[in-house]
Structures are given as C-alpha cells and as structure tokens.
Amino acid sequence: MATITQNFGTNNSLDVTNLHSKGDGAYWQSAKIDNGTIKGFWIELFITIKTDTNVGDTGGYLEVFYAGSTDGGTDFAGGASGTESTFTNTNDNNVKHMQLIDILPCDASDTTARTFKYRTIFKDIGEDFAIVIGNQTGQAIASDTNTVEYRIHKADSA
C-alpha cells in the first residue's frame, strides 16, 4: 500500500515594487506564477503589509484574489496580465471574475505605522496564475517593508 506524504514547497518572494505606496481602493497584481513544473495542489501565501502613518478606516482590510489562466499564462481571469503591476479594476477587468482567496483585516485607524503579517492558503491551483491584492484600508500602503511570498505544495506517493 502506498504512503501519501505532504511535500512542502520552497519559499519564493514575489516582486512587489508596484504594491508599495498603493493607495486606498487600488489593486496590485503579481507576475505569473508557473506551477507547470511543480504541479502542486495548493499554495500557501505569506503577506506582510505595512500601513502608512495616516489615519485610515477602523474596519480596513485587504482583499486577496486568485487569477487563474487556462492558456499557459497568457490570458488570466478578471483581465489580470500576469505581469507585476497595478491592476485597474474596471467593468472589463474586474476582480469579481477572480476567485477570492481571503479578506485580511488591516485596521489602519492609528496615526503610527503598523506591520501586519498574514498566512493564507488556497487549494486547487492551476498551471499558471497570478495573485491580486486590493487595498481597502482607508489609507495608502507604506512605501517599503511590504512582501508577498508563496510556497506551492504537493503530495508524494511512495
């Protein structure tokens, strides 16, 4: 009888140049994440966000979306591009057409900067996809210290 074991992936950092200083209501998208070689089943995300020093919303949060691709990483759900950049949420390119991974509380109602660290998991990932994060904190994200890391996991049979 075969034994199934979890195979933890390697930690990878995404470029977040365009996530820094992202204003309230604005969205960031990652570069394409290629799962074609690993062929993992789920992704673990580690997100660190530092808020600015301005007063924000007491009920502020971050939205995290999965934008899958069915054509080898050219066309992504919701109109994401698979390139690290700003994502403009419009009628044609819309996060409503992506899968919501998580809503992360990010209470930015303080006059001092805070650093929030999150871990979230999304299952049934495809071959190619991108991550989209929306800032709904009521203020801009800080200009540094923000990170998005991921690990793709799979199961091995022996």
| pLDDT per residue as tens digits for the range 83-132 | 999 999 988 899 999 999 999 998 766 667 788 899 999 999 999 999 99
Give the residue extent of every domain in the chain.
Answer: 7-157
Q: Which of 36, 116, 29 is nearest to 67 (CA)?
A: 29
Q: Report how far apart, in Å, the C-alpha atoms of 110 and of each of 54, 60, 65, 119 are.
A: 7, 11, 26, 23
The closest of 83, 101, 103 to 93, measured between CA atoms, is: 83
1-58 per-position pLDDT tens digit? 789 888 899 999 999 999 999 999 999 999 999 999 999 999 999 999 998 777 677 7
User: Which ranges of the chain would DSSP assign to H, the alpha helix?
Assistant: none
Say if residue 137's pLDDT is above 70.
yes
- Please give the average per-residue pLDDT across 63-81, as a whole number: 94
Fold of 7-157: Jelly Rolls (2.60.120)
CA 43 – CA 123 distance, rounded (Å): 6
Residue 149 reports pLDDT greater than 80: yes
99-105 and 12-13 as β-strands: parallel, antiparallel, unpaired? unpaired
